[in-house]
Amino acid sequence: MSENAIGIFDSGLGGLTAAKELIRVLPNENIVYFGDTARVPYGSRSRSTIITYARQDAYFLLSKGVKLIIAACGTVSSVAGTLTNELPVPFTGVVVPTAAAAVSATGNGRIGVIGTYATVNSGSYKEEIIRHNNRLEVYQQACPMFVSLVENGIIDPNDDIVKLLVARYLSPLKEQGIDTLILGCTHFPIIAQAISDYLGSEVTLIDSGRETALYAAELLKSHKMLNTASAPGSCRYYVSDTVDSFEKTAEIFLGKSVAGAVSHINLEKVAVH
């Protein structure tokens, strides 16, 4: 089973930031990525709909024989915790490892969280942070338009639209004097430079994709499921909408072409038990 792939899913492309970090942290592991591009975004959906979508995504990955499933989506991680006990393989979202990293990083005890409406409204990051230390102060801000910026390739930190939206969304957090900010959506690291430019270098940004990749590595190690092969692992990508648009945008996230490695699948044919 150690040679089986790691499964990653997201509502679209944001989870590719987690996949990129996973490739860096565990270069010998095989990866199967599923982006539910036909139903993106999840952030504006109801809790019950998100859970239904997450189960379908996870069971598709199980059909590929994966040994671990990562919900590389802040929205899913915030509302679909029931998957942990349902799936026959280890499962993790992004909330637990990311919150722990923020708690370790803060100096003044004032932590900001940005994400989709669903992530922020769930209060999952705040709850997990307070579970570690109930004296910490947590300030949350939904930033839904950041997702649109990234998926449309508007990511230059000097772009006037990027700077305007960053200032509009983050000014309340800046006024609160946060010293740590959780990038609670896996799209957000793509515009991390613009966020850092606005908040200042004294504010530590916590990348949920990176923290989840590190957590996944420890999870596989504890289950004795690390791939011991010496050759670099392979990556295969699946989407529920058009392949072409995914291939083009994926280059922004991964910094390399995925042409020829992407396939379309029909989720209606996936069996959910």
**Where in the sequence numbering do the catalytic residues fall?**
73, 185
- Helices 160-175 and 192-199 pack at an angle, to 10 degrees, of 50
Length of the chain measured in residues: 273
State the pairing for strand pair 235-239/262-264. Answer: parallel
**Maximal C-alpha separation, the chain:** 50
Q: Where are the alpha helices (DSSP H) in the chain?
A: 16-25, 47-62, 74-79, 83-86, 95-105, 117-122, 124-132, 144-151, 160-175, 192-199, 208-222, 243-254
Asked if 99 and 112 count as a contact pair (C-beta separation under 8 A), the reply is: no
Which structure tokens are listed for 177? 């004097």
Torsional class of 137: left (φ above 0), alpha (ψ -120 to 50), beta (otherwise): beta
Query: β-strands 137-142, 204-207: how paired?
Result: unpaired
201 contacts: CB under 8 Å, gap ≥ 6 = none
User: Cα(149)–Cα(208) distance, rounded to whole angstroms?
Assistant: 18
